[in-house]
Amino acid sequence: MNFKYLFTSLLLPFYGFANLTLPAFFSSSMVLQQNSTVKIWGSGKTSEPISITTSWNQKKYTSKVDVYGKWTMEIETPIYGGPYEIKISGYNEIVLKDILIGEVWVVSGQSNMEWSAASGIENAEAEVQKANFPELRLFTVNHSTANSPQNNLSGDWKICTPESMRNFSAIGYYFAKHIYESIQVPVGIINTSWGGTPAEAWTPEESIKADAVLLKDALSLKEVPWGPVKTAVIYNAMVAPLAGLKIKGFLWYQGESNVSNAAHYDKLLNTLINSWRKAWGEELPFYYVQIAPYKYGNPEEGVVLRNAQRMAENTSTTAMVTISDIGNIDDIHPRNKKDVGIRLGNAALKNLYSAYKGEISGPKLLLYESKKGQITLFFDTQELKCDKNCMNNFEIADTSGEFRKASVRIKSNTIVLTNSKISYPVFARFEWNNTAEASLKNNQGLPASAFITDNWWQFKNY
């Protein structure tokens, strides 16, 4: 008897049932976060021995598949570099090649984040032809929904070439390119976006249900033909599977699909941010884009949402970039995505990489003071550039709630507002309509956000 043949035959069924697998985002050509403890996980056969060997230090890590068919290991990554290989062995073997070590970001939102060169951006073809960056890696999560959090998703890593960049998030690409060119570190961008979707669909169900106001708003959303609106169904399929992947931070551009419940968007956005950070177990940086002025159907709904976005910027790890100077009031999809990506990039370069010394936002309202005959607004910069339109964009009101145009006096970092017909003004607002474009800027030309003073919301009992 051929014992060697018999032994091999006995092993075949054993290996035939082997099912060592990885989530889609652990693959060749990926980027892993540099200088970190990075978790890698997958599935296999219960009690299957698993080993990971990393080529940058030839270190071997070992573990076993648990009773639920899952395994997890943590590996140490070096400072940026590559390409490297990772060998993952169980009853079968997977070799991941051409791996770069660098900075990993997740970008998300609706159509303005999803918008690509192929969709139509400024200078699209010229930008596509220049998009040869082997140090940039692009991963697009395919659209999907689920009623419960999933373990995997569909997508793949691609090296940045004109072909792969053409259909990738333009903002994600410009952000990655700006970071790479500034600090010369490889960048991986995971784009998980879906046009026309509200933030509720991107937020865990338990987080929405925990707040009566958010739950009421979520239940009021009407179904649309271009994307899901049901709470959590996109989060479950397109965000939850990524949770635990070591990343540097998040970029977010969304809000147009929430103008119907705009007054509570600050609460909704902060709930989304906190729930994502909880899922990752880190207070990761979250940088987002304020939506641009646009001719929305109902008066003020767009500016109410922009003000809510302004109010959501309340921690040192959260930053908003304004784009009211580069929007298009006739097009909900402004075509200048390059400057949006660069502004987000500057926020990261300044806050995280100490590689940018300029301003990352326009003048911010810090506080306001009401007294007889006037309201004084205090800003965070002494370089207030208020053009002719700006002078006409301030209004004040007393407790009647009737706003009137204000006379404007600027001194250093303050703006004093008065109106001879209002003796005791208590509310102030600026650029308060859907289509008002940038008129108050700082020395660098970055625009201030539209706003209404916070006491207005208590007065209106929102």
What stretches of 242-317 adopt beta strand conformation (E)?
249-253, 286-289
| DSSP designation for 146 | -
Nearest to 280 by CA among 33, 460, 18: 33
| Contact between 17 and 65 (Cβ < 8 Å) | no
Query: What local confidence, expressed as pLDDT, does residue 460 receive?
Result: 76
Q: Under CATH, what is the fold of the domain 19-99? A: Immunoglobulin-like (2.60.40)
Query: What local confidence, expressed as pLDDT, does residue 18 receive?
Result: 52
pLDDT digits (tens, 9 = 90+) for 265-282: 999 999 999 999 999 999
Query: What local confidence, expressed as pLDDT, does residue 186 receive?
Result: 98
C-alpha span between 433 and 130 (Å, rounded):
39
What's the CATH class of domain 365-460?
mainly beta
Query: What local confidence, expressed as pLDDT, does residue 9 receive?
Result: 40
| Measured distance between the N- and C-terminal CA atoms of the chain, rounded to whole angstroms | 85
- Give me the DSSP letters along 380-438: S-S--EE-HHHHTSEEEE-TT---EE-EEEEETTEEEEE-TT-SS--EEEES-STT---
Query: What local confidence, expressed as pLDDT, does residue 12 receive?
Result: 39
**Regions of the chain with pLDDT less than 50:** 1, 3-17
| DSSP designation for 263 | G
Check whether domain 102-351 has CATH 3.40.190.10, yes or no: no
| Contact between 273 and 239 (Cβ < 8 Å) | no
C-alpha span between 295 and 297 (Å, rounded):
6
Mean pLDDT taken over the chain: 95
Question: Per-domain residue ranges for the chain?
Answer: 19-99, 102-351, 365-460
What stretches of 90-186 adopt beta strand conformation (E)?
93-109, 133-141, 155-160
C-alpha span between 119 and 170 (Å, rounded):
9
C-alpha span between 446 and 46 (Å, rounded):
57
Query: What local confidence, expressed as pLDDT, does residue 3 receive?
Result: 44
**Cα–Cα distances in Å, from 310 out to 234, 269, 357?**
25, 11, 23
| CATH topology identical between 19-99 and 365-460 | yes
Query: What local confidence, expressed as pLDDT, does residue 10 receive?
Result: 41
According to DSSP, the β-strands at 93-109 and 249-253 are parallel
